[in-house]
Chain A
Amino acid sequence: SQTIHQWPATLVQPVGSPLSLECTVEGTSNPNLYWYRQAAGRGLQLLFYSVGIGQISSEVPQNLSASRPQDRQFILSSKKLLLSDSGFYLCAWSVRAGGPNADTQYFGPGTRLTVL
């Protein structure tokens, strides 16, 4: 079966510091990968998605970036964190092939980021 991991689970960082959040998927190949942010009391905001190694699409202009160095690894980064970057970051994957299962997203446990 497929599993998705995120780490760290919790992170407290000062303003201006760098960020690296990691997401890995097991048990599947060639997944679509996604990064979402969830601010307190708000819905999901899609930040980035990737359909393959090195292929990143950005949905929202910001000081965050994403990379996909390996097929099942997705990294969210920042060179300098802002207070507004605080939130709950969720990684998700979906099957890349066609058919209904290709449109079903499965989420990781999330990373709680607090920027002070």
Chain B
Amino acid sequence: AQSVTQPDIHITVSEGASLELRCNYSYGATPYLFWYVQSPGQGLQLLLKYFSGDTLVQGIKGFEAEFKRSQSSFNLRKPSVHWSDAAEYFCAVNPRSYIPTFGRGTSLIVHP
């Protein structure tokens, strides 16, 4: 069975600093990969997804993620964080079925 690991429960950055959130997956082949963001009390919003092709994926709100097959990773990045980026971030993998597996989430705290 596939699994997703987000090793950082909390990440604290200063506004304007760069950000990288880690995601590692375990699966025999390359699954579909996703990043979602959840603001407090809200549903999950899709930031970006990787299916195939270019391993650097651009998403909404200035986020990007890079798929590295050799490392089974799909890390999320943003060059300059804004206070409004403070939220919970979830990585998900889908082994080309309709049941994805979600990571436990990383809480992003942004200091002014």
A interface residue numbers (CB < 8 A to B): 6, 32, 42-44, 46, 49, 51, 88, 90, 92, 94, 96, 100, 102-110, 112
Contacts and interface: CB of A to CB of B under 8 A. Distances in A.
A103 B32 contact: yes
Interface in B32-57: 32, 34, 36, 41-46, 49, 51-52
A77 to B, nearest CB: 20
Given A49-B98, A100-B51, 11 more contacts: A43-B90, A43-B102, A43-B105, A49-B99, A92-B44, A103-B100, A104-B46, A104-B49, A105-B46, A107-B45, A112-B41
Interface residues of B, number: 24
A32 B32 contact: no
B84 interface: no
B53 to A, nearest CB: 10
Contacts of B103: 43
A75 B61 CA distance: 32
A103 B44 contact: no
A106 B98 CA distance: 12
Contacts of B100: 103, 105
Interface of B: 32, 34, 36, 41-46, 49, 51-52, 90, 92, 94, 96-100, 102-105
Given A44-B102, A103-B32, A110 B43 contact: yes
Contacts of A6: 43
Contacts of B46: 104-106
Contacts of B52: 100
B43 A44 contact: no
B98 A107 contact: no
B56 to A, nearest CB: 17
Contact of B99 (A46, A96, A110): A46
Given A43-B104, A100-B51, A104-B34, A51 B41 contact: no
Nearest to A44: B102
Contacts of B49: 100, 104
